[in-house]
Structure 1
Amino acid sequence: MNIVVNEELKAYIDPLTPDEHDALERSILAEGCRDALVLWGDVLVDGHNRYGICQKHGLPFQTVQNTHFQSMEDVHLWMIDQHLGRRSVSDFQRGVLALRKREIVADRRARAAATFVASAPAEETQAEADPSTDVATTSVAPAEDLSSREAIARAARLSSSQVVMIEKIQKQAAPELVAAVKSGTISLNAAAAVATLPAEEQVAAAVAGKDELKQAAKRVREAKRKTREETPVKAADEAAAPSDAPAADELQTLRARVAELTAENEALRQQLAQLRGSDAPSTGGDGQPF
Structure 2
Amino acid sequence: MDIVVKEELKAYIDPLTADEHEALERSILAEGCRDALVLWGNVLVDGHNRYGICSRHGLPFNTVQNTRFKSMEDVHLWMIEQHLGRRSVSDFQRGVLALRKRDILAARKQEEQAQLQRESDGTAESSVDADTDTPPWEPAPKLSRAELAREAKLSTSQVGMIERIHAQAAAEVVEAVKAGVISISAAAAVADLPEEEQRAAAAGGKDELKQAAKRVREAKRKPRVPKPEQAVAELADPDEADADDRDAQVLAALVELGEDAPTLRRRVVALTRENDALRAQLAALRGG
CA, structure 1 residues 24+36, in 2 after alignment: closer, same or farther (shift >3 Å)? farther
Of residues 136, 141, 144, the one that matches 2:141 is 144
Letter in 1 for 2:223: E
Letter in 1 for 2:89: V
Match of 2:107 in 1: 107
Match of 1:70 in 2: 70
**Distance (whole Å) between structure 1 residues aligned to residue 192 and residue 112 of structure 2:** 37
What is the aligned length?
A: 214
Please list the CA deviations of residues 148-196 of structure 1 after superposition, one character each: whole Å capped at 9, or x if unmatched.
1101111211110011000100111100001111111111011111111
Please list the CA deviations of residues 40-70 of structure 1 after superposition, one character each: whole Å capped at 9, or x if unmatched.
1211112323322443455554432111112
1:38 positional shift: 1.6
Secondary structure in structure 2 of the residue aligned to 1:103: helix
1:119 positional shift: 3.2
CA, structure 1 residues 4+165, in 2 after alignment: closer, same or farther (shift >3 Å)? same
Match of 2:150 in 1: 154
Letter in 2 for 1:188: I
Q: Does 1:221 align with 2:217?
A: yes
Taking structure 1 as the reference length, the TM-score comes to 0.64
**Distance (whole Å) between structure 2 residues aligned to residue 202 and residue 168 of structure 1:** 14
CA, structure 1 residues 58+21, in 2 after alignment: closer, same or farther (shift >3 Å)? farther
1:219 positional shift: 2.2
Please list the CA deviations of residues 197-234 of structure 1 after superposition, one character each: whole Å capped at 9, or x if unmatched.
12122112212222222222222222222xx116x48x
Secondary structure in structure 1 of the residue aligned to 2:3: coil
Match of 1:91 in 2: 91
CA, structure 1 residues 87+2, in 2 after alignment: closer, same or farther (shift >3 Å)? same
Partners of 1:145 and 1:151 within 8 A in 2: no
Secondary structure in structure 2 of the residue aligned to 1:186: coil
Secondary structure in structure 1 of the residue aligned to 2:64: strand
CA, structure 1 residues 217+69, in 2 after alignment: closer, same or farther (shift >3 Å)? same
CA, structure 1 residues 121+175, in 2 after alignment: closer, same or farther (shift >3 Å)? closer
Indicate the percent of aligned positions where both proteins have the same amino acid.
64
Match of 2:276 in 1: none
**Distance (whole Å) between structure 2 residues aligned to residue 52 and residue 141 of structure 1:** 34
Q: Does 1:182 align with 2:178?
A: yes
Partners of 1:25 and 1:53 within 8 A in 2: no
Secondary structure in structure 2 of the residue aligned to 1:229: coil
Match of 2:229 in 1: none
Match of 1:79 in 2: 79
**Distance (whole Å) between structure 2 residues aligned to residue 36 and residue 213 of structure 1:** 45
Letter in 1 for 2:141: E
Taking structure 2 as the reference length, the TM-score comes to 0.65
**Distance (whole Å) between structure 1 residues aligned to residue 55 and residue 141 of structure 2:** 38
Q: Does 1:197 align with 2:193?
A: yes
Letter in 1 for 2:107: D
CA-atom RMSD, angstroms?
3.0
Equivalent residue runs for 1:1-290 within 5 Å: 2-11=2-11, 13=12, 16=15, 20-32=16-28, 35-58=35-58, 61-119=61-119, 142-146=139-143, 148-225=144-221, 228-229=222-223, 232=225
CA, structure 1 residues 203+120, in 2 after alignment: closer, same or farther (shift >3 Å)? closer
- Greater fraction of residues in helix: 1
Letter in 1 for 2:6: N
Which shows bigger deviation, 154-163 or 47-56? Answer: 47-56
CA, structure 1 residues 34+207, in 2 after alignment: closer, same or farther (shift >3 Å)? farther
Letter in 1 for 2:47: G
